């Protein structure tokens, strides 16, 4: 399925999940900033720091948003892999390892996501 803005559904789902995660993360970071400052000045214990930052993350839904992002990322990569295998086998052969092996490096994962978004959903049936 292609959305109105020429993205596949997995591409759209990832874009929405990433935007939500980034928004929640920015808010959580802002709310945790005073706690981090207090921690560096030894005004609170490490246990207090952990408790307070965890409370903020759960209150804002940070971990739920992270879980959703990971799931839609997996769906996006699966969609792109299947699409490239069937529609662009010559291109897939050059990037096979990126799709076949787990990537833990953040920069490499972002490059894989970039490849997934470079696929033109309008040419895919």
Report d(CA 48, CA 81) in Å as an integer: 44
Query: Which tokens in the block code for residue 89?
Result: 């086998």
Helix axes 9-40, 62-87, angle to 10 degrees: 140
Q: What's the pLDDT at 1?
A: 54
- Alpha-carbon distances of 47 from 35, 44, 51, 63, rounded to whole Å: 12, 8, 6, 20
* Residue 8 clears pLDDT 70, i.e. is over it: yes
| Orientation angle between helical segments 9-40 and 106-118, nearest 10 degrees | 150
pTM for the predicted model, two decimal places: 0.83
Q: What is the pLDDT of residue 100?
A: 80
């Amino acid at each position: 399925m292609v959305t109105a803005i020429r993205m596949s559904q997995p591409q759209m789902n990832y874009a929405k999940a990433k935007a939500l995660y980034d928004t929640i993360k920015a808010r959580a970071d802002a709310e945790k900033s005073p706690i981090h400052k207090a921690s560096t000045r030894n005004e609170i214990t490490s246990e207090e720091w952990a408790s307070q930052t965890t409370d903020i993350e759960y209150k804002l839904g940070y971990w739920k948003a992270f879980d959703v992002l990971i799931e839609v990322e997996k769906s996006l990569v699966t969609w792109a892999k299947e699409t490239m295998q069937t529609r662009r086998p010559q291109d897939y052969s050059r990037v096979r390892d990126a799709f076949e092996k787990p990537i833990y490096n953040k920069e490499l994962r972002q490059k894989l996501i970039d490849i997934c978004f470079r696929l033109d959903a309008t040419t895919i049936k």
